[in-house]
Amino acid sequence: LSASLVAVDWGTSSLRAARLGDGGQVLEERSAPRGILTVAPGEFPSVLQSLCGDWRDGGTPTLVSGMAGSRQGWQEAAYCACPAGADDLAGKLSWVEPGRTAIVPGLSCEHAGVPDVMRGEETQVFGALALLGRRDARIVLPGTHSKWVQVRAGRVESFATSMTGEVYALLRTHSILARMMPAEDAALDETAFLQGVSQAQAVGSLLATAFSARTLALFERMPAAALPSYLSGLVIGEELRAQAAVADGEVVIVAAPALAERYAMALRARGQRSVRLGAEATWRGLWQLACTGRIS
Amino acid sequence: LSASLVAVDWGTSSLRAARLGDGGQVLEERSAPRGILTVAPGEFPSVLQSLCGDWRDGGTPTLVSGMAGSRQGWQEAAYCACPAGADDLAGKLSWVEPGRTAIVPGLSCEHAGVPDVMRGEETQVFGALALLGRRDARIVLPGTHSKWVQVRAGRVESFATSMTGEVYALLRTHSILARMMPAEDAALDETAFLQGVSQAQAVGSLLATAFSARTLALFERMPAAALPSYLSGLVIGEELRAQAAVADGEVVIVAAPALAERYAMALRARGQRSVRLGAEATWRGLWQLACTGRIS
């Protein structure tokens, strides 16, 4: 099988690539622990070549999404201002190796004078729309900095960033709450997680709920092993309180399975339906943008 | 002048003491960097004696408030359950040196099955009430873990903890936001601070506002030097959104001057009045409790 596109997801902490066939199907995947933070300026072409140079020989074009397009990456790619569709992104590719390798631009939007940005998630959004065959959706891409995206008529109308994963990690590791918790997370305690979601919903501010992860342990109302799950529920519950309320209906979750399951559980507890997609959204998104930009 | 009480505020990171006269007036103050975290078990009496043994000779009683009464302190003192008045606290003193040295109990309360606690702030609350001559108040004690206290008819009816100071420090120092900021805080930038307060009010979740401290810098809408003030506004603004809304009228702020000024500014921006008190509330509180408990 000959490849039509080398699809690359180059993030802060990892580098993943897929060889896509004529219809966009994934023929092969590879990855390396070569996130952009590990790559010196000027070494991006050789790092990419060492991961998948064999796929690229013979002129197969390469399309890259993610933080490789940031100021600290290969080359700073533009931001497309919302509302933006796949045609806007495909029309603003940064050709870091002319005719051979391009980087997908990020998206920017603005709410009352405050800008917001994403890089990499825009590709997953268009992949999710293609996979689901939709032109309207409320999509969440959970993570260190979760993105909540509103899509109407095939275009990203607006989005908002929630620092959920990063705040969880800070509280879990560096705050006074960490002292009560085991060093390693056990499997998710669903009861404790949902108690956190419910508490977040009832109180309405993470600053006001977080201390309860200490006092519940202090008063022996919750075992130490359940505290990380409870805190996760507090933080994800706070995110949903602020963001998911906008979505009357279904939320599309694009994340790795374990994280997607937490969001689905929390949404269910709020009476909201969800659909889940994983890594396939990235490859499909790169394929969609390559087709739209006629580069494969 | 002979002392009637040696008043001691023994917290996590510092030890402060005052010699109080017959009417509770402060005759002399001393402090040492001997917070409870620096004191080994069993060494509390000698550390106290080395700071103010001369004041204690001759039988002047000593009353201690703060984290010295925690599990990691001199001896674990009880929590009084809310609603609680000065008489409840004075009736539950922990006599660590019988007839000579007592520790003030903390307060606990409960909201829908979730407990909350304070230790040290209860003393400041009763001091503030005495200094202001009030029996009803909404009081905030800002800090690492801010306490919002509802007082009715001279008793603490309930309170809530907001992890404001700790979350600010985590975001300021350990998050991605820190990368954009100068290592040291400059003087408060009032405009940026109030912009943060206003943003917190408009958006309604710190998870959703925090990322703006990055994007405003990224888009060169705010200079790096103003970012810590903006973030402080976001965090304090979030605290007020969740807590101060309960207070229709005036809020009593008990804090060191610079921090009290931030809270007063933020409250003013919300159209709320405030009154400020500082360290004098601690000494007056210890005096009040000593009088109520007839130990001086």
Residue B164 in contact with partner chain A when CB distance is under 8 A: yes
Chain-centroid distance, C-alpha B115: 19
Residue of chain B whose alpha carbon sits nearest to that of A242: B205
Which of B145, B163, B207 is closest, CB to CB, to A163?
B207
Nearest CA-CA distance, residue A204 and chain B, Å:
7
The residue among B239, B167, B252, B171 whose CA lies nearest residue B200 is B239
Which residues, other chains included, contact A288 with Cβ-Cβ below 8 Å and sequence gap of 6+?
A: A24, A86, A126, A127, A130
Copy the structure tokens of residue A121.
Answer: 């998630």
Rounded to whole angstroms, how far apart are CA atoms B55 and B52? 5
Considering CB atoms only, which of B176, B206, B208 is closest to A207?
B206
Q: Which residues of chain B have pLDDT under 70?
A: 1-2, 246-248, 296
Whether A207 sits inside 8 A of B239 (CB atoms) is yes
Beta-carbon separation of B243 and A208 below 8 A? yes
pLDDT at position B247 is 58
Chain B residue with minimum CA distance to A159 = B208
The amino acid that residue A214 corresponds to is: R
Distance CA B183, CA B164 (A): 20
User: CB of A112 within 8 Å of any CB in chain B?
Assistant: yes
Q: Verify whether the Cβ–Cβ distance A161 to B199 is below 8 Å.
A: no
Quick check: A213 contacting B, CB < 8 Å? no
pLDDT, residue A35, reads 95
pLDDT over 70 for what percent of chain A? Answer: 98
Query: Mean pLDDT, chain A, as a whole number?
Result: 95
- Cβ-defined contact of A175 to B163 (cutoff 8 Å): yes
pLDDT (tens digit per residue) in A72-98: 999 999 999 999 999 999 999 999 999
Long-range Cβ contact pairs of A263-270 (< 8 A, separation 24 or more):
A263/A140, A263/A142, A263/A236, A265/A190, A265/A193, A265/A194, A265/A197, A266/A193, A266/A194, A266/A197, A266/A233, A266/A236, A266/A237, A266/A240, A267/A240, A269/A194, A269/A197, A269/A198, A270/A197, A270/A201, A270/A240, A270/A244
What pLDDT, on the 0 to 100 scale, is given for residue B1? Answer: 46
DSSP A246: G
B208 at A interface, C-beta within 8 A: yes
Contact status of B95 with chain A (Cβ, < 8 Å) = no
Q: What is the ipTM of this complex?
A: 0.93
- The pLDDT assigned to B248 comes to 65
Best mutation target among B107, B110, B114 (most A Cβ atoms within 10 Å) is: B114
Give CA angle at A252 (A249, A258), nearest 5°: 125
Q: How many CB pairs under 8 A join A and B?
A: 119
pTM for the model: 0.94
Residue numbers in B near A204 (CB within 8 A): 242
Region A162-170: what's the mean pLDDT?
Answer: 97
Closest Cα in chain B to A244:
B208
Cβ-contact A50, A58 below 8 angstroms? no
Question: CA triplet B293, B295, B296: central angle to 5 degrees?
Answer: 125
* The predicted structure's pLDDT at residue A248: 65
Parallel, antiparallel or unpaired: strands B155-162 and B146-152: antiparallel
Q: How far is CA B8 from the centre of its chain?
A: 15
Chain B contact for A78, CB < 8 A? no
Best residue in B82, B158, B163 for a mutation probing chain A (most A CBs within 10 Å):
B163
Which residues touch A142 (CB under 8 Å, ≥6 apart)?
A: A164, A165, A236, A253, A255, A259, A260, A262, A263
Chain A residues close to B243, C-beta within 8 Å = 208
Q: pLDDT category, A246, cuts 50, 70, 90?
A: low
Q: Is residue B179 less than 8 Å (CB to CB) from chain A?
A: no
